Amino acid sequence: MRITLRSLIITLVVGVVAAALVWAVLPRPIPVETAVVTKGRFVATVDEDGKTRIRERYIVAAPLSGRLVRVRLKAGDQVAADDVIAAIAPSPAPLLDPRSRREAEERLGAAEATIERTRAGIERSHAQSDQASNDLARTRTLVERGAATVQALERAELAMRVADRDLRAAEFLNHAAEHELAQAKAMLAQYGDGSKAPPAIWNISAPVSGLRKAKR
């Protein structure tokens, strides 16, 4: 069989076209990054802004001047009501002037008046709570008989809850007033007539239960 130039050219063209088609359908290589696999510790952190909400903040003031003994509590420690949270040692040779004694007596009188006011508030809150309880019981009976509406029952229940909260608030105010009275008595004891020597250490107790807050 004689091979002509034309047939050779056609064969070459067909081969080139076939090679181009094969190259076009072949999968393309994907570029990747390589690294050596090692064993280690994986740490992930999240940085976000946080908010701290404090329901109630109580500042415990010193009942008298002196030197603060080392505080053993740390920020975040649990504190129960009437627990000793700090202690004050008396200052050396305090000046017992009449003005300081008068100020201590006035503070004691104000604390006693506050006690009377808070006790009256407790009695009033007790009466309101009892009245709200009676009203709620009567309203429930009337609703069961069909003589009162559901809205009236809801108002009676709300009044009962409000009365209970007012009673708890009044009891707390009375407790805080008793604490202030104890502080006033401790302050006045510093200016006694000398017949009874004051103790070497004055203990400061917590007015309520809670957590110790860090000092700023």
Largest CA distance in the chain: 144
pTM of the full structure:
0.45
CB 134 within 8 A of CB 156: no
The alpha carbon of 114 is separated from its chain's Cα centroid by a whole number of angstroms, namely 28
Among 201, 188, 195, 1, residue whose Cα is nearest residue 84: 201
User: Tokens in use for 156?
Assistant: 């009676």
Q: Give residue 13's Cα distance to chain centre.
A: 85
**Residue appearing with tokens 């009942």:** 63
Q: 59-90+202-216 maps to which CATH number?
A: 2.40.50.100
Least Cα distance to 81 among 185, 210, 187, 201 occurs for 210
Q: What is the pLDDT along the chain (216 residues), one digit of tens a residue?
A: 456 777 778 888 888 888 888 888 877 778 888 888 888 888 888 787 776 665 667 777 777 777 777 888 777 788 888 888 888 877 664 555 677 778 778 888 888 898 899 999 999 999 999 999 999 999 988 888 888 888 888 888 999 999 999 999 999 888 888 888 888 887 777 655 444 555 567 777 777 777 766 555
Please, are residues 89 and 67 in contact by the beta-carbon 8 Å criterion?
yes
pLDDT at res. 194: 46
| C-alpha to C-alpha distances, 32 to 26, 37, 38, 93, 171, nearest whole angstrom | 19, 15, 18, 83, 72
Q: Where are the domains of the chain?
A: 59-90+202-216, 98-197
Element spanning 78, H or E:
strand 78-79
